[in-house]
Structure 1
Amino acid sequence: MQRRSFLLASAASALAGCGDDARQTASVDEGGGVPIPLRHARYLRLERHEGFVVARLRAPVADQSGGQAQEQTAVLVLAPKDGPAPVLVGRLQDATVIRTPVTRIAANASSDEAFLGQLGVKERLAAVGGRVSYDDDVRRGVMEGRIGQIGYNWHAPPNLDVLLAVRPDVFLMRLSDLAHTPVLDRARRLGLTVAPTFAEDEPTYLGRAEWIRLHGLLTGREAEADRLFEQIEARVTALKGAASQRPPVPMVWAYPAGGDRWVVTVRGAEQAYLADAGGRNLLLRPEDARKWSSETLATEQMLPVVDQAQVWIVGDLHAAPPRGAGVERGSPAFRTGRLFANTGRSNPAANAYDWYQTAFVRPDWVLADFVKALHPDLVSEPFRFLKPVAQGTYK
């Protein structure tokens, strides 16, 4: 039910003054809430109140050029469908009300698809970004027209006509570009229930994964979400502990971008995988929340360190062969064949790559791959996202 409906319910209750209508509404303000502890997420706060949960979302969002970021915020009131309709008062009066559990969901980001898939509720998807989901069932639903296409967050603003046609209980909108903010506002004015999601903006990989707690609350799978995240966190802790007992392995994560350019992981959550797996990033840069986790370097900037790289993450969906083999000839990783790509969970025929989907939700799987690449004897399970590649292979 939309926020407008609750305000109307409030007015009806006030006119009636007593009777059934008065019993079917409940005044909601922000007092008396008990925080739901979150250990890693910085852009999500959860509070449990009597009969409802308040979710506070905030994150800096920049335009696609990486310009000056502006903080975007939202407040959600999650109220059970089988409970009274909340009447928002005080500082919660402009919050978005979502009746839970939601059963029809739209999402314009692959990561939100993955959160729902990990919770076992992917069948509730009524609309997604498009046809390149790594999940075969979701992709088939789109191709057969059972699931709408609203456009991916990285490509364009969501298609409001499709959203109005499918009428989801909630639209999980990945706000990855400030230019899309007016569309979010217009969607709300049209009566759509919109919840912006900032999981991918979290500065740590466990912070990203912890957003599954919100997805659990929305879908009625709170216990399952809590249990899964605890398993993820425990596995990450165990992997980090084992890797920390080994000498760091000098390595590089850089894929060729054509000509004499290389896209290099230098900071951020991606760099944290290298450090936590027992790697020493030879191209490490200082942490800076205003900058991307990767930078583009010229071949001559790579040459001073490549002769130390024992392991190289060289393959990527976006890779293009380098102009020459000078970098490769100087690296022991190329000579010994310790080369990897992050395209292990890929379906090229469908243009579907799980690195941009489930990897956000299952950092334990990602970290296990990096530990296996650096210290093969510490992980017995097969690679998932990473895969060994031959010299001259970049995808």
Structure 2
Amino acid sequence: MPAVKGGASGTAIPLRHARYLKLERYDGYTVARLRAPVADQSGGQAQEQEAVLVLAPRAGPEPSLPAALRHATLIRTPVMRIAANASSDEAFLGQLGVNDRLVAVGGRVSFDDDVRRGVIEGRIGQIGYNWHAPPNLDVLLAARPDVFLMRLSDLAHTPVLDRARRLGLIVAPTFAEDEPTYLGRAEWVRLHGLLTGREAEADRLFDQIETRAQVLKAAATVRPPVPTLWAYPAGGDRWVATVRGAEQAYLADAGGRNLLVRPEDPRKWSSETLATEQILPVADQAQVWIVGDLHAAPPRSTLVEGVSPAFRAGRLFANTGRSNLSANAYDWYQTAFVRPDWVLADFVKALHPDLVSEPFRFLKPIARGAYR
């Protein structure tokens, strides 16, 4: 089949929130430029990682690329066999209705029943989750994916990415979870749409997500902010508190005033571990408290519970509403990245109950003394 020659310059596909993704449409193909800081999990300095993907229709001729794209990764679309080592990429595909194309995933704890069943029955390979270990290349090679969506969550995994490419695997690093805003994360669905031939569906979905989030934020903005804490006990006298980042933005946009808010810093996590003594000075102001989490452990002291109006009024919540305990599967680490409109609706409902009539999804009310 003769090659199709691309134009000298592409036309940008406008993205409204994503910082680490750029899309350009050329004659006969689309270019995706991915670039994000990736941290060394041992505490070292973050380093920029980048990739350039050329997405060309499978049914058409192979594009003749300009010199500037000579080293780009060519992906023929739509991809029909997909591997992913992050639950968030599973969720993007699930929202587009193409999770049946998964041939390898991180492991057995997907919140999606069909995917989890496929892994247990051996129809879908297990390559290891991004937060646990580098991907198992033997399983990947056996799965023969058209593309491997690799969440690069640790610089130490970079050599494995390079080796996978040398072995002939087509690898697309994904940085959706690194985006500093919740809508920036969700906008990566547009890349998944381009890869899978669901571009129109992805665009419609993101427009729906963005519109709903804007409506919720506008409704909450006119209400007096509710003093709130998002901190769960981590055993002993330690608490893990949300203080910045996309998670803190949920509180702010839902009409809350985070009593432990810290200045934004892209080099730092959205949460910090604090001692009970650091929580106590503001605990007596918290009218709402997100105190439950998958990783929570009962505190040594219940002193904060005695002074907090949130505990006295029973306005306590956990982010474990969408959980399958028997499968050890938690959708907070999966669909929440893709559907921030659902997450924001939960926070608005927790802070201003009369503004949202739909039931909770990710958040759930919990009793005093419960932490999950």
- TMscore range, shorter length: over 0.9
1:67 to 44, 58, 69: 44
| Equivalent-residue separation in structure 2 for 1:330 and 1:336 (angstroms) | 11
Matches within 5 A, 1:44-55: 44-55=21-32
Residue 206 of structure 2 is matched in structure 1 by: 229
| Equivalent-residue separation in structure 2 for 1:39 and 1:83 (angstroms) | 30
Residue 275 (str. 1) matches residue 252 (str. 2): yes
Matches within 5 A, 1:1-395: 21=1, 24-28=2-6, 31-395=8-372
1:66 is displaced (CA, Å) by 3.4
| Equivalent-residue separation in structure 2 for 1:66 and 1:132 (angstroms) | 27
CA contact (8 A) 2:6 2:28 kept: no
Partner SS for 2:114: helix
CA contact (8 A) 2:287 2:310 kept: yes
Q: Which amino acid aligns with 1:214?
A: L
CA contact (8 A) 1:88 1:94 kept: no
1:89 is displaced (CA, Å) by 3.2
| Equivalent-residue separation in structure 2 for 1:26 and 1:114 (angstroms) | 34
Higher-Rg member (1/2): 1
Cα shift readout 1:95-149 (whole Å, capped 9, x = no counterpart): 0000000000000000000000000000000000000000000000000000000
Partner SS for 1:247: coil
1:284 is displaced (CA, Å) by 0.6
* Equivalenced residues, count: 372
1:32 is displaced (CA, Å) by 1.9
| Equivalent-residue separation in structure 2 for 1:189 and 1:356 (angstroms) | 31
| Equivalent-residue separation in structure 2 for 1:32 and 1:305 (angstroms) | 55
| Equivalent-residue separation in structure 2 for 1:378 and 1:319 (angstroms) | 29
The alignment's TM-score, normalised by the length of structure 1, stands at 0.93
CA contact (8 A) 2:56 2:62 kept: yes
CA contact (8 A) 2:5 2:28 kept: no
| Equivalent-residue separation in structure 2 for 1:65 and 1:278 (angstroms) | 36
Q: Which amino acid aligns with 1:183?
A: V
Deviating beyond 4 angstroms after TM superposition, the runs of 4 or more aligned structure 1 residues are: none
CA contact (8 A) 1:28 1:92 kept: no
CA contact (8 A) 2:294 2:320 kept: yes
Cα shift readout 1:296-319 (whole Å, capped 9, x = no counterpart): 000011111000000000000000
Cα shift readout 1:326-356 (whole Å, capped 9, x = no counterpart): 0110100000000000000001110100000
1:88 is displaced (CA, Å) by 3.0
Q: Which amino acid aligns with 1:323?
A: R
The gaps in structure 1 that reach 5 residues or longer are 1-20
Partner SS for 2:261: coil
CA contact (8 A) 1:371 1:379 kept: yes
Partner SS for 2:362: coil
Q: Which amino acid aligns with 2:253?
A: D
Partner SS for 1:127: strand
1:324 is displaced (CA, Å) by 1.1
The gaps in structure 2 that reach 5 residues or longer are none
| Equivalent-residue separation in structure 2 for 1:28 and 1:145 (angstroms) | 42
| Equivalent-residue separation in structure 2 for 1:254 and 1:28 (angstroms) | 52
Partner SS for 2:91: helix
Partner SS for 1:195: strand
Cα shift readout 1:40-68 (whole Å, capped 9, x = no counterpart): 00000000001100000000001113320
Task: Supply the RMSD in Å over aligned alpha carbons.
Answer: 0.8
CA contact (8 A) 1:47 1:55 kept: yes
The alignment's TM-score, normalised by the length of structure 2, stands at 0.99
1:28 is displaced (CA, Å) by 4.3
Q: Which amino acid aligns with 2:50?
A: T
1:256 is displaced (CA, Å) by 0.1
Residue 9 of structure 1 is matched in structure 2 by: none
1:293 is displaced (CA, Å) by 0.3
